[in-house]
Amino acid sequence: MRKRAGVSFYIFLSLFIFVIMFPFLWVFLTSIKPPIEIFAGFNWFTTNPTLQSYISAIDTRPLFLYMWNSIAVSSLTTVIAISVASLAAYAVTRLPIKFKGTILGIVLAAAMFPQIAIISPIFNLIQSLGLRNSYMGLVIPYITISLPLAIWILATFFKKIPFELEESAKLDGATPFQTFRKIIFPLAAPGVFTTAILVFIAAWNEYLFALTINSDDNWRTVPVGLSMYQSQYTIPWGDITAATVLVTIPIVVVVLLFQRRIVAGLTSGSVKE
C-alpha cells in the first residue's frame, strides 16, 4: 500500500522525530548552560554557552574510565559470544543433527530467563572465583544474555545462504569444517557483523550484574557509573547532562554508521522473508 508522501505527512514526521529527540535535545542544551542558569528557568537557549559542566563531570567521576571498562567488557563478551554462537548456529541450521528443535528451544528459554533469577548464584560463583571487580567477572554473566541472542540471530542469517554451496564444496573434497570456515562463515560475515553489533549494545547497556558484581568505582561500567552521579542531597544536573551527552555520542556514532545492519538484525528474528 505505497502511498504518496504529502505535506501533512512530512509535518507528522517532523513532529514525531521532534518528540523522540526532544529529551536528547534538552539534555544537550542544558549541558552547555552555565550551572546557574540551569536552576533559574526554562529558557531553551543560553546566551553564554560554556563547557563548565563537562569539565566538572569529568573531574568528579572517572567517566572515561567507565567508558573504557564498558568497551573492554562489551568487546570481550562479543568475541566470546560470537565464536561460540556461530558454531552452534551453523550446526543447527546446516548440519544433519537431531534435536534441533530442542536445542533452539533451550536457547530461546535461556534468552527469556529473568536476570534476577540467576543473580544470587552467579554472585556467589563470581565471588568464589575471586573475580569481583574485574572484567571477567562481568563477561561470564554477560554470556547468559549474549549467547542466546547471538545464536538466535545468527541462525537466521546462516539459513539464508544457498545450500548448493555446501554441495559443491563437498564435491570438491572439502571437509565439513573447512566448508564452514572457508565458505559459509565468510559469506555470512555481514550477518555475523550485525549480530556482533547487537551483542555489543546489549552488553554495553546491562545494569543489574554490573551494579552488583563490580561495586568498586574503578571497575564500574557506563550505565552504573552514570547512575551514581546523583547524590543524596544535591543533584548536579549540569554534570549529569554533560556526562549523558558524552556517553551518548559513541552510541549515536555506532547507530549512524550501522543503522541498516542494526535494523536487519533486529527484524531478522521476527519477520519471515
CB of 189 to other proteins, least distance (A): 18
Cell of 148: 542466546
CB 100 within 8 A of CB 165: no
Closer to other proteins by Cβ: residue 48 or 270: 270
**Count of Cβ atoms closer than 10 Å to residue 223 Cβ:** 17
- What is the C-alpha separation between 250 and 252, in angstroms, rounded? 5
CB 100 within 8 A of CB 225: no
CB of 163 to other proteins, least distance (A): 7
Question: What DSSP state is assigned to residue 54?
Answer: H
Task: Round the CA-based radius of gyration of the chain to a whole number and report it.
Answer: 23
- What is the C-alpha separation between 118 and 122, in angstroms, rounded? 6
- What is the C-alpha separation between 188 and 186, in angstroms, rounded? 5
Closer to other proteins by Cβ: residue 50 or 261: 261
CB of 24 to other proteins, least distance (A): 7
Closer to other proteins by Cβ: residue 233 or 260: 260
Q: What is the DSSP string of 32-45?
A: TS-HHHHTT---SS
CB of 256 to other proteins, least distance (A): 6
Closest of 164, 190, 161, 177 to residue 93, by C-alpha = 161
Closer to other proteins by Cβ: residue 51 or 266: 266
Contacts 24+ apart (CB under 8 A), 35-38: 35/238, 38/237, 38/238
Closer to other proteins by Cβ: residue 85 or 192: 85
Cell of 147: 549467547
- What is the C-alpha separation between 166 and 35, in angstroms, rounded? 64
Closer to other proteins by Cβ: residue 49 or 105: 105
CB 81 within 8 A of CB 206: no
Closer to other proteins by Cβ: residue 42 or 233: 42
Closer to other proteins by Cβ: residue 84 or 165: 84
Q: For the chain, give the number of residues.
A: 273
CB of 218 to other proteins, least distance (A): 19
CB of 20 to other proteins, least distance (A): 5
CB of 159 to other proteins, least distance (A): 6
CB of 224 to other proteins, least distance (A): 7
